[in-house]
């Protein structure tokens, strides 16, 4: 079986590998459960639907191993992507005002709660990025932090100091480090670090545009293009 990743690059996508491993282990466990049930004369959905505990543990172990092994890490993209957000307060429902780091896209808050921060403009024109927990409540550990480095100079996200429950005022040219909520696909904490630069603001349209780079590996703070972690 070929594991998901980047062919010929020497890096593996941890999330893809975990999914492949889960499928393999789950299939093996099901065969074992059926065999044991036959030998013991057991029947019923309780046996047929036995929870693949070992599979979940194996995937969690793989994620943890990937966090400490640069050989398993997928590289940061070579170039930045661009996204545009509309003002949450004044925009129509069809305009995305929040950003989902896990999916790498702007999203509408009226159709999904899967996002990490949103764009909000006060009546006096003050522009803000509002962390997820400030808007939805909870303790997701998602946060935002303005940094003094330029976008290119920021090659590693800060380990702490993120604002999680209050607005962060922003303006054109600002560079920020952002950490996502934990990926719900994993049993262990799995957040993704991103850097962003606000490249333009259209006050008439109520939009904010930024470029960004995200490390695609759990809990890895390296943000240098082409690198995976360390």
Q: Are β-strands 81-86 and 175-179 bridged in parallel, bridged antiparallel, or unpaired?
A: unpaired
pLDDT at 230: 57
Sequence-separated (6 or more) residues with CB below 8 Å from residue 204: none
Sequence-separated (6 or more) residues with CB below 8 Å from residue 189: 141, 182, 218, 219
Mean pLDDT of the chain: 79
Does pLDDT of 91 surpass 50?
yes
Does pLDDT of 157 surpass 50?
yes
Query: What phi, psi does 202 have (nearest 5°)?
Result: -110, 100
Asked if 226 contacts 76 with a C-beta cutoff of 8 angstroms, the reply is yes
The percent of residues in the chain predicted with pLDDT above 90, rounded, is 64
pLDDT at 45: 38
pLDDT at 229: 67
DSSP 8-state secondary structure symbol assigned to residue 71: G
Mean pLDDT, rounded, for 94-107: 97
Q: How would you class 70 by CB atoms within 10 Å of its CB: exposed for 0-12, middle for 13-18, buried for 19 or more?
A: middle
The percent of residues in the chain predicted with pLDDT above 70, rounded, is 68
**Where does the pLDDT of residue 48 fall: very low under 50, low under 70, confident under 90, or very high at 90 and above?**
very low
Asked if 85 contacts 129 with a C-beta cutoff of 8 angstroms, the reply is no
């Amino acid at each position: 079986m070929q594991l998901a990743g980047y062919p010929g690059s020497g890096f593996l996508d941890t999330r893809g590998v975990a999914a492949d491993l889960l499928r393999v282990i789950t299939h093996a466990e099901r065969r074992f459960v059926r065999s044991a049930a036959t030998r013991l004369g057991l029947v019923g959905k309780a046996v047929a639907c036995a929870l693949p505990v070992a599979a979940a543990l194996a995937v969690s172990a793989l994620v943890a191993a990937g966090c400490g092994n640069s050989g398993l890490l997928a590289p940061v993209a070579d170039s930045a992507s661009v996204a545009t957000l509309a003002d949450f307060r004044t925009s129509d429902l069809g305009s995305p005002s929040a950003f989902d780091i896990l999916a790498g896209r702007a999203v509408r808050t009226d159709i999904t709660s899967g996002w990490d921060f949103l764009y909000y403009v006060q009546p006096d024109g003050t522009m803000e990025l509002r962390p997820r927990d400030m808007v939805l409540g909870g303790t997701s550990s998602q946060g935002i932090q303005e940094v003094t480095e330029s976008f290119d100079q920021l090659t590693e996200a800060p380990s702490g100091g993120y604002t999680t429950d209050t607005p962060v005022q922003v303006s054109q040219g600002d560079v920020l480090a952002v950490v996502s909520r934990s990926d719900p696909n994993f049993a262990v904490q799995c957040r993704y670090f991103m850097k962003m630069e606000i490249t333009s603001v259209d006050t008439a349209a109520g939009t904010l545009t930024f470029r960004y780079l995200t490390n695609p590996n759990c809990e890895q703070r390296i943000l240098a293009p082409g690198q995976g972690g360390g």
